[in-house]
Structures are given as C-alpha cells and as structure tokens.
Structure 1
C-alpha cells in the first residue's frame, strides 16, 4: 500500500478506487446474506406451522 502511494497520485487514486470497490462488494455480500437469512427464517417458520 505504501509503495503504491509513493508511486504518485495516479497510483494512489487507483488504489483508493480498488479499495472502494472491495468495500462496496463486501457490503453487498453482507446485505444479500442478511436478506437470505431473513427469508429462510420466515420460510422455515411457515413450513413448521403446516
């Protein structure tokens, strides 16, 4: 990270963009997992009632 930052502004901006993309991707994955867990819990509860 430090080497890329020392290379110049172009390298720094590229690194920040990659980090931003990784962060967004991680958030999306967490949200999807949370939604799947909610849907699964609701579906399993409905299934048990029958």
Structure 2
C-alpha cells in the first residue's frame, strides 16, 4: 500500500530539513521501488 499523502497544511513552509513533504516523497520512492521489485518477482500477477 502506498504511503498516505500528507495534507498541504502539515507543512509549515519554513524550509525544514526534515519536511513532511520530503519524507512523503522519500517514502513514495521506496514504495515504488519495492513495487517494481515485486512485479519482477511476480510477472504474471495482475496490475493493481
């Protein structure tokens, strides 16, 4: 399951080093990489 997208109001707009939007982007990238690897291992599985 992909990560939940944060609400835009969750970001304070101060340019934090560990912004919730940056963490979401990183989590989404990890999810996409894991999904791609799973699809390689399960080529006959239906696409979601």
Q: TM-score range by the shorter chain?
A: 0.5 to 0.7
Tell me which stretches of 4 or more aligned residues in structure 1 moved more than 6 Å: none
The unaligned stretches of length 5 or more in structure 1 are 42-50
Q: Which has the higher contact order (CA 8 A, sep 6+)?
A: 2
TM-score, normalised by the number of residues in structure 2 = 0.54
TM-score, normalised by the number of residues in structure 1 = 0.52
Identify the structure with the greater helix proportion.
1
Aligned positions, number = 36
| Larger gyration radius, structure 1 or structure 2 | 1
Over aligned residues, Cα RMSD in angstroms? 2.2
The unaligned stretches of length 5 or more in structure 2 are 1-6
